[in-house]
Amino acid sequence: MRELPIKYGCNPHQKPAKIYMKNGELPLSVLNGTPSYINFADALNSWQLVKELKEATGLPAATSFKHVSPAGAALGIPLDETLKKAYRIENDNLSPVATAYARARGADRVSSYGDFIAISDCVDVDTAKLLSKEVSDGIIAPAYDSEALQILKAKKKGGYVIMQMDPGYVPEEMESKDIYGITLEQLRNNAVISKDSFNQIVTENKNLPEDAIRDLLIANITLKYTQSNSICFAYNGQVIGCGAGQQSRIHCTRLAAGKADIWMLRQHPKVLSMRFKEGLKNAVIDNAIDLFLRDDITEVELKEWENLFEVVPEKLTLQEKQDWFKIFGGVALGSDAFIPFRDNIDRAAPRSVKYVAQPGGSVRDEDVIRACNEYGMTMCFTGLRLFHH
C-alpha cells in the first residue's frame, strides 16, 4: 500500500489529509484503530528514536511521545524496588521490553497522559498488560505477540491505535516538507551517535564511566528527536527530564531540571507512603503527586487535592527536598546545541549532574568549561548540533 487517508490534519478543519509514499510501499501497517495525522507524526519520530537507541546500546528501548517530542525514553534495565513502587509495578519479573516501557512512561507521568508509544522490539504480554492500565493513544513496534495484540486491541473500547513498522525500512537520503506552499528540502539527519561521540573531553575531570556514556547516549539520541531548543537529563538508563521547544536554552534547562526534580521526589519515602482513597485512576494519582510536590498550589487546588487521600500527607520542606536530591549521583545532561552561558551549568549542578555533552562552539565555551570545573563535572564536546524542527 502506498497511501492511507487520514480523517483530518492537525485540526478538524484541515481536510483532506493523507499519508503516502512518493516511491515504493508504506513501511508500516495499521493493525487496529484509526490513526490521526498527529498519531502518524508521533509514531514516525518515536520509532526512529527507539531504533537508534537499540542500535547504539544493544538493549530494548521504549519512548513515550506527546506532540512530536518525547516525554520519556528508556532502556530495558531492571528496576530496583523503589522505582517499582514509584511506577506502581506489581510484577517482580518484568521482561526487558516491559521494563523499558515502564521506565519511559515513568519519566514524566503527567506529560505522558494520552501518549504515543514506540517499542524497539516485539511487544510481549508483560508490556501489553502494563500499557492496558494507562491512558494512551497508540503504539508502534516491529512485532506483537498474539496475546499481547489482543490485550491492546481491547483498549479504548477497541479503538486503540496499533501500528506495525518494518524494522528493515531505510528512508531516502533527502527529505522535504512544505511550509506555506513552499517546499524545503534537506539531507535527512543521519548522524550516528555512538560511544565515540564523547571522546573529546574538555574539562579537568576526565572520568567518564560506562554508565555515564550509556546515559549520554540516551540523552543525545532523545534530543535528536525533540523539538528544539532542548535539554535532556538522563540517569540510570532512562530520561528523567526533558525540556523541549523553548526559545531560550536556560528555560530548557530549568524545565528539564524541574521535571527531573519531580522524578526524583516521586521516590521519596513520604510520596511512596501516601494512602489514596480507593478507586482512583492512575492519572488522578499522578496529578495528585504532582500537586503535592509543587510549591505554588492554590487554595482551590489544595481543597480538591486533600479530598483524594485517606490521610492527608504533610508537604515536603525545602530542606527535605534538597537533602533528597543529593542521593542521586551522576546525572547526565545533553544539549542539542552549544551551551551559551554558565547559568545552565549552575542550574544543573544542584540536581547531581556530573556528565555533560554538548556540541561546543560558543564564544563563551571557556566560561562554561570553567563552571564545569568548579563543580567537578566531566564535559564532552561532540561537535554535533541536533536541532529538530
Residues forming the active site: 66-67, 229, 389
Q: How far is CA 145 from the centre of its chain?
A: 25
Greatest CA span in the chain, whole angstroms?
61
CA-based Rg of the chain, rounded to a whole angstrom?
Answer: 21
Cell numbers given for 28: 508500516
Residue from 389, 38, 61, 10 nearest 225 by CA: 389
Cell numbers given for 178: 512544505
Grid cell 493513544 in the structure block, residue: 137
Count helices and strands in the chain by DSSP H and E runs? 13, 15
3-class SS at 259?
helix
Task: Please measure the distance between the N-terminal and C-terminal CA atoms of the chain and give it in whole angstroms.
Answer: 28
3-class SS at 92?
coil
Q: Classify strands 331-335 and 238-244 as parallel, antiparallel or unpaired.
A: unpaired
Residue from 270, 275, 276, 246 nearest 258 by CA: 246
Cα–Cα distances (Å) from 91 to 81, 102, 127, 129, 279, in that order, read 11, 11, 11, 10, 20
Residue from 127, 122, 68 nearest 102 by CA: 127
d(CA 348, CA 346): 6
Residue from 364, 358, 56 nearest 230 by CA: 358
DSSP conformational letter for 156 = G
